[in-house]
Homo-oligomer: A and B are copies of this chain.
Amino acid sequence: MRLRLMEATVECLVELGWAGTSTTVVSQRAGVSRGAQLHHFPSKQDLVVAAVGHLSERRREDMAKSAADLPEHGRTRAVLDVLAAQFVSPVFFAALELWVAARTDAELRKAVGPLERRVGRETHAFAVELLGIDEAKGDNRALVQATLDLVRGLGLAASLSDDSKRRSVVLDAWATVLDDQLETS
């Protein structure tokens, strides 16, 4: 039931945005009584933070799966696709609703800040692993951070319109840069 509520919350955030997501709408969509919903998640904030946290876990599992299929040849470009897919996605759009709402809501920011930092650290570690680099070498660490800022920016661009052609060209160029600039062991 917790799971159903969390998944309905993400659907609502993606389709209706922050303002359109209410505990009432979520309970209805999940087919869960108001009482049960309030028992599991007393407020909209509890529900939304739990839902986005839950999704980040699922996202991590998805990333781990896609990592298994990376090609030898053109690996960097394939890694960029795996990373970009995490940001050009409904999950990111749901998180974006939460982040933007948290910017002007101090209570919500207290809950979202730690979640965002944790997801950021995990995604960074994952990128380092996929790229197969030692991040202590040269500018590697900063280049991985730049890569994640890039895909975050691409995710935001994709939230308004289909941007896939442009994105593909940008990621091609970025892969060339990384292959050239990352220091490998």
Per-residue B-contact encoding for A164-185, CB less than 8 Å = 1, 0 else? 0010011011101100110000
Q: How large is the interface on A (under 10, 10 to 19, 20 to 34, 35 or more residues)?
A: 35 or more
Contact residue among B99, B139, B169 (Cβ-Cβ distance under 8 Å from A176): B139
Q: Which residues of B contact A17 (CB under 8 A)?
A: 100-101, 103-105
CA distance A148 to B109 in the complex (A): 27
A169: chain B residues within 8 A (beta carbon)? 142, 145
Q: Which residues of B contact A32 (CB under 8 A)?
A: none
Q: Is A19 located at the chain interface by the 8 A CB criterion?
A: yes
Return 24 A-B CB contacts under 8 Å, by A number. Answer: A15-B104, A17-B103, A17-B104, A19-B19, A19-B101, A96-B103, A99-B159, A100-B100, A100-B159, A102-B160, A103-B160, A112-B160, A116-B160, A139-B176, A143-B177, A145-B173, A146-B170, A146-B173, A146-B177, A152-B152, A153-B153, A156-B156, A176-B181, A180-B180
* Interface flag for A62 (CB, 8 Å): no
The A contact surface, by secondary structure, is helix
CB atoms of B142 and A146 under 8 A apart: no
Q: Are A153 and B149 in contact (CB under 8 A)?
A: yes
Give residues of chain A (140-158) contacting chain B, Cβ–Cβ below 8 Å: 142-143, 145-146, 148-157
Q: How far is the CB of A135 from chain B (nearest CB, A)?
A: 12
A16 interfacial by beta-carbon distance below 8 Å: yes
Q: Judging by beta carbons under 8 Å apart, are A96 and B100 in contact?
A: yes
A17-B104, A112-B160 in contact; A149/B177 too (CB < 8 A)?
no
Whether a CB of chain B sits under 8 angstroms from the CB of A97 is yes
